[in-house]
Amino acid sequence: MVENTQNTVVTFVLDESASMMPVWDETISGFNEYIETLQADSRPTVIRLLSFNSKRISGLYNFEDIQKVEPMTGQSYTPSGNTPLYDSIAKGILDTDDFLEYSDEEHNVMFTIMTDGMENASRYFNFLDIAKMVEQREKEGWIFTFLGANQDAWKEGSKFGMQRKYASNYQASNPKEAFKVLAESTLRAKGGWSDVRRAAHFFTEDEKERLFRQKAK
């Protein structure tokens, strides 16, 4: 297994369906803060961002050096349409496979999914397909994290093969806090990949509480 001195690939699959419209601004600013937090870490990281809805699956960052990426804007992230969650996860996995195959270096892989809704628009993949893909990559040392709002994230994550400790609900009205938690947990994993994978819990108790925190008024 690749140890914590090696490069990290972050593949982020982010819901861009119409239900995200009420938190459009907070999602953009929260994601940009997430990027800034990862940029403050000197250990090498490349990022692939896929934002998805039933109109498009858009790749804003294509395995780019985290230090060189431009901020997300209201032009690059525009919520609309439905939620092809399974197709988007599959694309993220297959894109990451391709990157690893042609890379000259070894990488740890952090695969993160964030959605405020349930699957309702995939055309090519189902949950069984995703479960098989996730199971195989977890054996290869990948970490899959899943944050879901307006659903039972533990049930949904386990349905497509993710370990319960890596899944959590989050407060739909407060995505900025969810992004902060994801950034912190990603940095912690980078600091001790094997230890994090062996641990009973991925999110700390404080992080779990913050994921449910209402947006400050």
Please give the pLDDT value at position 2: 42
**What is the token pair recorded at 170?**
């989050």
- For residues 110 and 189, the answer to whether their CB atoms sit within 8 Å is yes
C-beta atoms surrounding 104 within 10 Å:
4
C-alpha angle 179-181-184 in degrees, rounded to nearest 5: 110
In this prediction the pTM is 0.95
Question: To 10 degrees, what angle do helices 24-39 and 175-191 make?
Answer: 20
CA dihedral 16, 18, 20, 22 (to 10 degrees): 150
Is the Cβ–Cβ distance between 96 and 127 less than 8 Å? no
pLDDT at 161: 87
pLDDT computed for residue 125 by the predictor = 97
Q: Are 214 and 172 in contact (CB under 8 A)?
A: no
End-to-end CA distance of the chain: 45
How far is Cα 92 from Cα 198, in angstroms, rounded to an integer?
A: 24
pLDDT of residue 217: 61
pLDDT of amino acid 143: 98
- Which pLDDT belongs to residue 1? 39
Give CA–CA dist 119/66, Å, rounded. Answer: 29
Q: Which residues contact 189 (CB under 8 A, 6 or more apart)?
A: 108, 110, 143, 196
User: So what's the pLDDT on residue 160?
Assistant: 85
- The Cα–Cα gap between 100 and 104 comes to 8
Torsion angle of C-alpha atoms 148, 132, 80, 82, degrees rounded to 10:
-90
pLDDT tens for each residue of the chain, 217 residues long = 344 457 999 999 999 999 999 999 999 999 999 999 999 999 999 999 999 999 999 999 999 999 999 999 999 999 999 999 999 999 999 999 999 999 989 999 999 999 999 999 999 999 999 999 999 999 999 999 999 998 989 998 888 889 999 999 999 999 999 999 999 999 999 999 999 999 999 999 999 999 998 876 6
pLDDT of residue 132: 96
